[in-house]
Amino acid sequence: MKTKIANILLASTSFVVFIYGILSACSPDSLSSCHSYFRDIPFTIWAVSLSVFLISAILFFLRDEVFTTWGKFAVVFLPLTVFLIWISPTTSNDFITPFDKKLTATFLSVIFFLISLVIIAIKSCKLRKSQ
């Protein structure tokens, strides 16, 4: 039961942060249209929170052991993601290091989502076999 409450808190927090990322990127006081909304800070907030929200929505329907296993991964990966996005350059104009904040956020959120899906699938299969 505690993991379901934690999952609901995680999903609602990531959803609120996702909405904040969209609203801050598409604010009416910006000089450009909403189509150029992938700026640095709002996009990083948007990309990471979308991945966390989707995974927490999947985890809501699974057993508590799956959430606990995924939580051990997320506790390590999410702070590492924030740190790597924070140290990445704002813009990149060279071919040696083509990663900027947007590309780093996109890459790490996709990697987070894919690894989370693999962890969820493996743990769910192991739990089904043990029953």
pLDDT for the residue numbered 8:
80
Model confidence band, residue 112 (pLDDT cutoffs 50, 70, 90): very high
Residues 51-67 have a mean pLDDT of: 88
Domain boundaries, given as residue ranges, for the chain: 2-130
What is d(CA 85, CA 75) in angstroms, rounded to the nearest whole number? 16
> Does 83 score more than 70 pLDDT?
yes
Closest CA to 106 of 38, 35, 55: 38
Q: Is-contact 68 123, C-beta < 8 A?
A: no
pLDDT for the residue numbered 34:
53
pLDDT for the residue numbered 37:
44
Query: Higher confidence at residue 19 or residue 24?
Result: 19
Distance, C-alpha 53 to centroid of its chain: 7
- DSSP alpha helix (H) spans, the chain: 2-25, 40-59, 64-87, 101-130
pLDDT for the residue numbered 29:
56
Cβ neighbours of residue 95 closer than 8 Å, sequence gap 6 or more: none
